[in-house]
Amino acid sequence: MSAIKRFFYISNLNKIRLRTVIYIALFWTAIDFVIVLLRQDAQVHTKSLWLREIVMFIVSLIMGYIFVYRLRKILRHFPLWLNFLAKSFILIGSAFILTFIIQFTETYFFQNLNASKAFQEIRSYVLYKNWLLLKIIYWMVIFFITQLILIINEKYSPGVFLDILAGRYINPRIEKRIVMFMDLKDSTPIAERLGHSLYFEFIRDFIYRMSQAVIEFDGTIYQYVGDEIVCSWIFAPRNTRKCLDTVIRARRNLQKKSNYFRSKYDVVPDFRVGIHIGEVTVGEIGVIKKDLAMSGDTMNTTARIRSACTELNHHSIVSKTFVENIDLKKWQTESLGMVELKGKENSLELFSLKI
């Protein structure tokens, strides 16, 4: 990648976050637009309205950035209720600044008042009736809805929440997918060495770095099972490459943080990978807790391939189907021959990835 491309490069994770910021700004601006039009006492001037909404959108972008980037990092390890409350109070303060900017813009530019009179107009507006209480309730409702949507969206991989919202998987669907199982290598001795509490922190850091790689290359994280990540891509030639790039990026992420892991845990994590391609059944399950489930022989086979990494002492093992659907050099793979997988009647030709 050239220096210019590196300068302008935006990771997929940051693209997702930027889209979230824009969606938040559009949502808040649309709500404000509707509220202004519905106000019974409002005599809306077209230019004033559009200037108001432009200012609203710009300031909402800034607030959205604080919401998605800064507050998320600062409050990441806080309990959910405290995280929720802290964000609400911080954003309400920002909302009053936003309201002040909007009111000042309207009075200064469209009522032809000088700055001093514009401030006096705003002061009388703020003190009028129950304006302060109404504004607090108004912004609390908006922030509550925004945070609720973000929390639900974070529970699933990017895009999955929209699929559930649209009811795409109410009736189970059969899809051809690339499935990948990744888990921590030598987890038992590491757990014994670190102890329960520190090992949990270790797993959380490990999962975080691995998940970044999956999201970077548009993977859908199906579930976390202890130290294992199960993810998938809709089958397509470009997605087989993305799957392979995910493995490479995951190793790179761990290497970059090797000093961090070594200093905090005295061990640098490594992982094993099993990859296969085939049909899976995807659908919603659950009564009180809804979730997406993937089932079928492909899931079972991929799990067995991942287990074969331990038995055959290889980091990354893939099925012949995967190798046939990706353009790799001969030296990048090594045939392990026909391997009998536990619980499978027929042997399967497997390949070790040399990456």
User: How many Å apart are CA 235 and CA 174, to the nearest integer?
Assistant: 12
pLDDT reported for residue 209: 92
> How is residue 331 annotated by DSSP?
G
All structural domains of the chain with their residue ranges: 3-155, 160-353
In this structure, are residues 111 and 51 in contact, taking their beta carbons and an 8 Å threshold? no
| Predicted TM-score (pTM) of this structure | 0.74
Distance from C-alpha of 280 to C-alpha of 297, rounded to nearest angstrom: 7
CA angle 54, 60, 62 (to 5 degrees): 115
The confidence score (pLDDT) of residue 306 equals 94
Give the pLDDT of residue 288: 65
Calpha distance 350→355 (Å, rounded): 16
**Cβ contact 18:10 at 8 Å:** yes
What is the pLDDT at residue 258? 94
Smallest CA-to-CA distance from 274 within 339, 203, 209 is with 339
Residue 149: what pLDDT? 74
pLDDT of 226 reads: 85
| Residue with the two structure tokens 């590491």 | 190
pLDDT at 157: 67
What is the rounded distance in angstroms from the CA atom of residue 84 to the CA atom of residue 86?
Answer: 6
For 158, phi then psi, to 5°, come to: -55, 130
Residue 114: what pLDDT?
A: 65
Torsion on CA atoms 309, 314, 316, 319, rounded to nearest 10:
-60
Per-residue CA distances from 115 to 53, 66, 212 (Å): 21, 29, 49
From the list 318, 319, 324, the residue with the least C-alpha distance to 355 is 318
Q: What gap in Å lies between CA 253 and CA 244, rounded to an integer?
A: 14
DSSP per-residue codes, 49-83: HHHHHHHHHHHHHHHHHIIIIIHHHHTTTS-HHHH
Cα Rg, the chain, nearest whole Å:
26
pLDDT at residue 115, rounded to an integer: 64
Amino acid 174 reads I
**Structure confidence at residue 232 (pLDDT):** 94
What are the DSSP E strand ranges found in the chain? 173-184, 220-225, 228-234, 271-285, 291-295, 316-319, 333-339, 348-353
DSSP string, 81-115: HHHHHHHHHHHHHHHHHHHHHHHHHHHHHHS---H
How confident is the model at residue 179, as a pLDDT?
96
Say what the pLDDT of residue 327 is.
85
Q: Which amino acid is at 183?
A: D
Spatial separation of the C-alpha atoms in residues 113 and 4, rounded to whole Å: 48
Q: What is the pLDDT along the chain (355 residues), one digit of tens a residue?
A: 545 555 455 677 777 778 888 888 898 888 888 887 776 555 556 666 777 788 788 878 887 787 766 776 676 666 766 777 777 777 777 777 766 776 666 666 666 666 676 666 666 666 665 666 677 777 778 877 877 777 776 666 666 767 777 778 888 899 999 999 999 998 999 999 999 899 999 999 999 999 989 988 989 888 888 899 999 999 998 999 999 999 999 999 999 999 999 999 999 999 999 999 999 999 888 766 667 788 999 999 999 999 999 889 899 999 999 999 998 887 788 899 998 888 787 888 999 998 7
- β-partners of residue 183 are 228, 272
pLDDT, position 158: 66
Fold classified for 160-353: Alpha-Beta Plaits (3.30.70)
Instruction: Give me the pLDDT at residue 156, please.
Output: 67
